[in-house]
Amino acid sequence: MDETEEQRLIKGAQAGDADAFEALVNEYYEVMFKMAFKWCRNEQDAQDITQDACIKLARGIGSFKGDSAFTSWLYRLVINTAKDWYKKQNRHPSSSDGLETAKIDEKVDEKLFAKQVVDEIHKLPDGEKEAMFLVIGEGMSHGEAAKLLDCKESTVSWRIHEARKKLNELFEGERAHG
């Protein structure tokens, strides 16, 4: 979807046009689902979270001001939904029934390592995890991420720093040997 189309749909939905809203949700469901899945790594949970997020979107579309990219705004919505969701469920995202990254093939070693890294990222505190996802995963600048996370830029930098330190401690040695 090009930008003007996106703009048109958002404007329409904000003005109360149900068709525009439908098109918008349809368009972004996949994106939201991906975000949710990356966050919780469990298909069922991700579905539920995305559904919640869609419902939230119905009420919240009016509060999108257009001062950031729509996807960034959505990202925030989805992550907040996910956090609320887990709070209500009273548990944390679990990876036990999560994704099976390591499929048996010649790259098994590589994949196993990747899975371990992802596992570790998911074990980080929420703040650091979010920062990692936004800055490393989505390629945002610290400033952009800070705006989205509603905190100072320095906080983001600090969290990234902390997270990377932890990951490096865990993996650097192993990688060197491996």
Partner 1 sequence: MDDAQLKKILDNTDVPAADDNARKRAVNMAIAEFKESQKENEKTSQGIPFLSRLMGKTNTQQRRDPMEKARNKRFVYGGMATAMAVVLIAGVSFNQLENYDAGVGGNKTAAHLNKVQFKTDGDSLSNSTFSNISQNITGTREQTPLKTREKVETKQQLAEVDAIYAEPRIAGNERQDAPAAVASIEESISTGTSSLPVPINPPARGRLNKTKESKMVAAKRPMEMAQGIMGGAAPASSPTFSDDNVASRMIGVPDIMPPPDYKDVGRDKFEDFKINPIKSVAQEPVSTFSVDVDTASYSFVRRQLNSGVLPQKDAVRVEELINYFDYNYPMPEAKSEPFKATVTLTPSPWAEGKKLMHIGIKGYDIQEEKPKSNIVFLLDVSGSMNSQDKLPLVKNSMKMLLDSLNPDDTIAIAVYAGAAGTVLDPTKVSEKSKIIAALDRLSAGGSTAGAAGINLAYQLAEQNFDDEAVNRVILATDGDFNVGITNQEELKDFVERKREKGIFLSVLGFGQGNYNDHMMQTLAQNGNGVAAYIDSLNEARKVLVDEATSTLFPIAKDVKLQVEFNPEAVAEYRLVGYETRALKREDFNNDKVDAGDIGAGHTVTAIYEITPVGSQSVSVDPLRYSAAEKVETHKADTDFSGEYAFLKIRYKLPKESKSKLITTPITRDNDMEHVQFIRQPTHLNEFNFATAVAGFAQILKGGQHTGDLSYDDIISLANGSKGKDNFGYRAEFVQMVRLAKSASTIQPR
Site for partner 1 in 6-25 (CB under 8 A): 13, 16, 18, 21-22, 25
Task: Give the 3-state secondary structure of residue 130.
Answer: helix
By the 8 A CB rule, do 178 and 117 touch? no
Nearest approach, Cβ of residue 167 and partner 1 (Å)? 6
| Residue 132 binds to partner 1 (criterion: CB under 8 A) | yes
By the 8 A CB rule, do 22 and 103 touch? no
Query: Around Cβ 106, how many Cβ atoms within 10 Å?
Result: 6
Q: Which two tokens stand for residue 139?
A: 């390629």
Site for partner 1 in 144-163 (CB under 8 A): none
CA–CA separation, 149 vs 151, rounded Å? 6
Site string for partner 1, 97-126 (x = CB under 8 A): --xxx------------x--xx--x-----
Q: How many residues does the chain have?
A: 178
| Residue 51 binds to partner 1 (criterion: CB under 8 A) | yes
Amino acid at 161: H
Contacting residue, 136, 147, 157, 158, with partner 1 by CB under 8 A:
136
Q: What is the DSSP letter of 139?
A: -
Q: Which residues bind partner 1 (CB under 8 A)?
A: 13, 16, 18, 21-22, 25-26, 29-30, 33-34, 37-38, 41, 43, 47-48, 50-52, 54-59, 61, 84-85, 88-90, 99-101, 114, 117-118, 121, 132-133, 136-137, 139, 164, 167-168, 171-172, 175
